[in-house]
Structure 1
């Protein structure tokens, strides 16, 4: 069922408010949503699983225990490779404590804070203390 124009506008407004309120949380949700298994990873894993299964069958016919063990290991490794999502490459932290994204990475989420790690911690601490009083 499609959303009405009013519902789409309201949803868009809520998304903008989320980015403005907590850009870090919003970027995590976006990364999680866009992070899939990947077709190439699944194909490679399934192919390794099939090769491993073929090695097990061949080992059973030739009575070769070590070849069966290798086939089983290849089959399990292929299936695990196919069902686990790829992890994104991490950026680095400069000497001043500011995170630098990896090459080709998109910039910070809209409204993202800059500064050193300690500055951000102090801001959080001040905000918590202010909210308590």
Structure 2
């Protein structure tokens, strides 16, 4: 939804005040892209996953269960971290997107129909016309 003229003017005033108050911070915030942050986290998670594989293999070679288990846990944690970053880069719900916006139109209509049926049943029960 686009901003109204009044909201755009207020936003411009807030930005101007921020530039006047702390120009270094304002430039840093303006130039930062959230996707870059998530891509970096994916790279870090990949490196951590590789370290986990090395630990797991090292534990197998020296026959130390603790080292192997630690490697597996590192791999698991890094895999989850990487998947989280991947979803955010790919357009998942990173910045609070509405869940209904990505839902197919047909399914929304079915859900609305179901809710209408429930409301109709509730109204009939309240009126005493329950069948």
- TM-score of the superposed pair, with normalisation by structure 2: 0.39
Higher helix share goes to which structure? Answer: 2
- TM-score of the superposed pair, with normalisation by structure 1: 0.38
Larger Rg: 2
